[in-house]
Structure 1
């Protein structure tokens, strides 16, 4: 079954990023856009500066798990978001990063 919450297309990433509505914290940058679909959609981006492919995939898996927890509480918000991981995320533990992501997503307006 296809997951309707995940954004994978490059042109969708670019359209959300081009709106330049941004929320930041030391671990994440969140680009967002209001939508009419009735639920939270997300895409994950990890830059090459963070490490090799194995490490970047590990970060993406962690962010995906964090987003699953965020969706349980904030999933009814009607937004499209792009989550970009920052270097500072790698120095913190999973719980700290998860709380930081929850705080940023809960501040969407």
Structure 2
């Protein structure tokens, strides 16, 4: 995922937290903020130390990024999205993580439901 698609600055994270709409399931919390002036969506990730050691957290972040990248055509462009991984997601497979991301994004009414 290119750097222009990421939220990295703490100030940007804080804006989304302060003006947020949030949805959660057992594995993820998703905060969303609609911005009409954006050309593409941006993604911010947070994986706490409760998930595991550094290599476990990086592993989870990579799986989340890959899941979002695969769902990119179904995501709206004018969106800032923060994904917080809960400890239950540690040591889960790529397929499971993608299924749970789809679930939480559908709960948030971000993702178009496929029929």
TM-score, with normalisation over the residues of structure 2?
0.81
- Tell me the distance in 2 between the aligned counterparts of 1:87 and 1:93: 14
1:1-109 equivalent positions in 2, closer than 5 A? 3-36=3-36, 37-74=38-75, 76-90=76-90, 92-106=92-106, 107-108=109-110
After TM superposition, give the deviation of residue 105 of structure 1 in Å: 2.4
Distance in 2 of aligned mates of 1:86 and 1:18: 20
Q: May I ask how many residue pairs the two structures share in their alignment? A: 107
2:51–2:57 CA contact under 8 A, matched in 1:
yes
How far does the alpha carbon of each residue in 1:7-55 deviate from its partner, in whole angstroms, 9 at most, with x for none? 1111111111122410101111001111111422111110111111111
Tell me, in whole angstroms, the C-alpha distance in 1 between the residues paired with 2:59 and 2:91.
14
Runs (4+) of structure 1 exceeding 6 A deviation are: none
Q: TM-score, normalised by structure 1?
A: 0.85
